[in-house]
Amino acid sequence: MVERYVVAIDGSAPSEAALEWAIKRAVREPAPVVLATVHDDEFGAMGREVEDIEARQSARLVSEVAARVRRRLPAADISVAVLEGSVPWALARYVRPSDLLVIGTHKSGFLHGRVLGSRSVQIAAAAPCGVAVVPLADLRFRTGVVAGIDRMQTAGALGAIAAREATARGQELLLLQSVPVPPEGTTVARDRLALAHAVAAAKAACPALVIRSRVTHRPAADALLDAARDKALLLLGPGSSDAARTPIGSVLHEVLLNVNAPVLVARPLAVRELEAVASHDHATLERTR
């Protein structure tokens, strides 16, 4: 469950794409929506007057966007937040672990807005909550959810999360795992255990869901981006579910810089919670054998 949708607003086209994505999700899965803009403290180096002008512009921008959203969704819980500081860290300090932070990005990752663009990697790395990165692309005819499975420790959690995302949309789920080409004469059965575990968890979470799975020997980021080209959502786990380590791994980093579909980075807290449940279930099963 999401406690709040926190949407990064900076007036750019990707920001609008992120807002539209968040609104549609909030309608489908209701939760308060916070429109957050960041008054970057770098403007302070240009003098107090410039800093004050920038602060007023930031407040006016987010207030105007909020008024527009309230006219569209009069029953929704909409609020604003004007933050100060370096953009990634200001957003990271503001969000809670149970929030979903929604940011926009240009497809190629080049920086165009004050908040967005290539900073999506920095924001996703800094935020303690789940992060949705929404590209500036036509998503109207996209369908299906694809989830990247990388290791046994998170496979069950990601399978269950992905199944719920697909079920909420009434769409099919593809679970995809990239494994190295095995040496000649060896078996790949062990490499595929994570994918099998993810499939089992997805079926347990949503028995009626149509689930497909695939193993590929292509580089993981290439395979995921190719599979996501016509999908409504690409789900990835954190590089690590350890709160003391960065959630950005090399695959997630490359995907975010070349994003071609909305990417949902599962929050470490959710993954840890589901990992704990999976470990408990496994231990219970072992005791009953």
Residue 135's contacts (CB-CB under 8 Å, 6 or more residues apart) are: 14, 17, 104, 105, 106, 107, 259, 260, 261, 262
pLDDT tens digits for range 107-122: 544 333 444 445 788 8
Same domain? 171 vs 264: yes
In a domain, 83, yes or no: yes
Q: Which one, of 17, 236, 223, 16, lies nearest residue 139 by Cα?
A: 17
In a domain, 276, yes or no: yes
Same domain? 104 vs 36: yes
Mean pLDDT of the 184-204 span: 80
In a domain, 140, yes or no: no
Which range has the worst mean pLDDT, 104-113, 115-124, 253-262, 274-283?
274-283
Assign 129 to helix, strand or coil.
coil
- H-helix or E-strand spanning residue 44: none
Q: Alpha helices of 35-191 — where are they, by DSSP H?
A: 48-72, 87-94, 119-126, 152-169
C-alpha 241/C-alpha 20 separation (Å) is: 29
In a domain, 128, yes or no: yes
Q: Of 135, 159, 186, which marks where a domain is finished?
A: 135
pLDDT tens digits for range 222-239: 999 999 999 999 999 976
Same domain? 64 vs 83: yes
Assign 229 to helix, strand or coil.
coil
CATH code assigned at 128: 3.40.50.620
Sorting pLDDT into bands at 50, 70 and 90, what band is 283? Answer: very low
Mean predicted lDDT score pLDDT of the chain: 83
Same domain? 19 vs 117: yes
In a domain, 33, yes or no: yes
C-alpha 37/C-alpha 83 separation (Å) is: 6
Contact 22, 130 (CB under 8 A): no
In a domain, 81, yes or no: yes
In a domain, 246, yes or no: yes
Q: Of 89, 112, 135, which marks where a domain is finished?
A: 135
Same domain? 100 vs 162: no
**Structural domains in the chain (count):** 2
Q: Of 135, 155, 173, which marks where a domain is finished?
A: 135
Higher pLDDT, 270 or 63: 63
Same domain? 131 vs 153: no
Query: Is the Cα torsion angle 38, 13, 168, 210 positive or negative in sign?
Result: negative
Same domain? 21 vs 150: no
State which residues form the domain around 174: 145-288
Same domain? 93 vs 207: no
pLDDT tens digits for range 149-191: 988 888 999 999 999 999 999 999 999 999 887 666 555 555 6
Residue 41's contacts (CB-CB under 8 Å, 6 or more residues apart) are: 84, 85, 86
C-alpha 22/C-alpha 36 separation (Å) is: 13
Q: Which one, of 250, 265, 173, 161, lies nearest residue 214 by Cα?
A: 173
How many angstroms separate the Cα of 209 from the Cα of each of 159, 167, 205, 217? 12, 7, 9, 26
Same domain? 160 vs 270: yes
